[in-house]
Amino acid sequence: MDAGFGAHAIAHYAAMVVAEAEFQPHQHIPELREALRRLARDTALGDLCRACGVPGCACTDPPVEDRPWTPEDQAAFQRTLAHLGVTPDDLDALDQTGSPS
């Protein structure tokens, strides 16, 4: 996810997408993809701040640069997948189709 958006902008758009309740409770990956897609579209169309997601914002702080993925990140990711009930087959299907099966 090296889109150059700040955590506040992503959280703001994720909250908007979740509030619309168009996805099933287990569809977190499509929700995040939709939030990022809409954030990218809105920043390309106007003066939306890439750091906080607010139109016309005067933020001077650029988004924090991404850092290398660590073993701790991978462990946390695996715990989250396990908590959500995502299986390796689910991930394989997602890699092949770009959306959950």
Distance CA 7, CA 27 (A): 20
88 or 61, higher pLDDT: 88
Digit-coded pLDDT (tens) for 54-85: 787 767 655 556 678 889 988 988 888 888 88
> What percent of the chain stands above pLDDT 90?
3
* Residue 59 DSSP label: -
* Domain residue extents for the chain: 1-55, 69-101
Q: How far apart are CA 21 and CA 69, in angstroms?
A: 31
By the 8 A CB rule, do 17 and 38 touch?
yes
Average the pLDDT over 85-91 and give the result. Answer: 81
What are the tens digits of pLDDT across the range 3-51?
677 777 888 777 777 777 776 666 556 667 777 888 888 888 877 787 7
Q: Check pLDDT > 50 for residue 1.
A: no
* Spatial distance between the Cα atoms of 78 and 13, rounded to a whole number of angstroms: 24
